[in-house]
Chain A
């Protein structure tokens, strides 16, 4: 994996994220934040690889701890975001019907 590609990818993803996230209304900033929390658990991928190929037992145990922490982040983050987003209801009956479907 070339370093240059990764750096460009980082810049592009950050700019695209900045553009799209800026459009999320402040109404939803708490679920946005907990959702981003879940996304930062992406580091679980690194933990999985590091653990799978660890030779020393200590490394494997550390890696497993990282997997646990990152998965708490992922599962807890997405679930709590879902709980919050389900609570947002509109006043118009039409919207309520759509939401209940």
Chain B
């Protein structure tokens, strides 16, 4: 194969990748786009094997078969709730693969590396390694294996700075060292970059994870692109660049949705307290606050006329509502209440109401997480409204039902200057005629800012596990 033919096919494949992403503009064509991307990837593998005349090398096929088998098993087993940690883990694998390629190229037998190749190799090594160690910490936090709270070491800023400086210095040193000193420097760079990835991500709290994994997604692409510079591969350079751009866009979207700068998130300066209204750990409840029905107890055991009257009122509110907007948050995912929410939607619709969902961009633990969870239980995607559309419609809505969401509906974000969430765009559920909140507790959300919504007139709070409180609403409708 001539170089010209190789380049032409490579460019066609890159255009194919971009075309696949273009098809993801609509949910109807997105699956085709993904298949196009997969086909181009297969084409790229075959092209590379043919170009280098190594189609017959058994080790390559054995390694690819192993990876494909493991990847298939993981992809089929993962649940939609676990998607953030899977994506974080896969980011890490991609970074690791790029780092290993750099190590092999730098320390291998290719004696004809020029300075450009060697510098790229050093960079790919450290960016790939930071992506790996950072992703492992992020995946651990998302999966609940590590504590979700930000962990601050003594003089964390200094440690991070030193690790970053050492990482950068060693990446450059690898490129300038003579061949026989490179293995030792490579190992030192690996260690420094691993440390940097860890100290950077342990500082970041659970609710900031949408930003973190978007950033790591970007870096896994950048690592591949730089590895492409090291080995002179146009396919790696172009595709890595595309992935880097995607991660950058998602990072920007998430930062905007939280009204934070990336630096604030990375320095861990954003969060005060842990746990959210949606979190699983129960916390103290202010007995004076608002009217509320103890949700987790079965209705039969319900004592007191007051509670019964409220329950009857709630039934009236639910039956009277003609337009309903449901606001899901990470609490719904934690409680695994998606199916119950869909049943509530079906029951409301059977009663003649129009039901839509208001999806805040940072609800959940990764960009678009709520949409996937609701699509899984067959909620039609055209009822899933974005922030602006939802806010425009909420004033004309009879009833808003908040399920496991707190910070994203906290009106304090509009008024409480100086708090972490001030200026963050929120869903204005108080604009709706009535509000029902199904949260675990009334503790301040992840950002640590108390939510004045609980005290509002027209707001009913149902405390407890959403998997139990949501069916109670459904049963009130069928009474």
- The verdict on A47 contacting B25 (CB below 8 Å), with A18-B248, A31-B372 known, is no
Which chain A residue lies CB-closest to B371? A27
A59 near B225 (CB under 8 angstroms)?
Answer: no
* Interface size band for B: 35 or more
B98 near A30 (CB under 8 angstroms)?
Answer: no
**Which residues of chain A have C-beta atoms less than 8 A from B371's C-beta?**
26-30
A30 near B246 (CB under 8 angstroms)?
Answer: no
A18 to chain B, nearest CB (A): 4
Which chain A residue lies CB-closest to B65? A71
**Which residues of chain A have C-beta atoms less than 8 A from B52's C-beta?**
48-49, 52-53
Identify B104's interface contact among A34, A54, A75, A95, CB under 8 A: A54
Which chain B residue lies CB-closest to A70? B97
Size of A's binding interface in residues, CB under 8 A: 88
A73 near B241 (CB under 8 angstroms)?
Answer: no
B362 to chain A, nearest CB (A): 10
Identify A56's interface contact among B93, B108, B238, CB under 8 A: B108
Q: What are some 19 contacts across the A-B interface (CB < 8 A)?
A: A17-B241, A17-B245, A24-B24, A29-B366, A31-B372, A33-B246, A44-B67, A45-B44, A45-B45, A48-B52, A53-B109, A64-B59, A69-B94, A73-B67, A73-B94, A76-B75, A78-B37, A79-B72, A86-B31
B282 to chain A, nearest CB (A): 29
B59 near A45 (CB under 8 angstroms)?
Answer: no
Identify A87's interface contact among B72, B245, B367, B376, CB under 8 A: B376
A59 near B90 (CB under 8 angstroms)?
Answer: no
A38 near B41 (CB under 8 angstroms)?
Answer: yes
B101 near A47 (CB under 8 angstroms)?
Answer: yes
State the CA gap A38–B22 with chains docked (Å).
16
B240 interfacial by beta-carbon distance below 8 Å:
yes
A3 to chain B, nearest CB (A): 5
A28 near B54 (CB under 8 angstroms)?
Answer: no
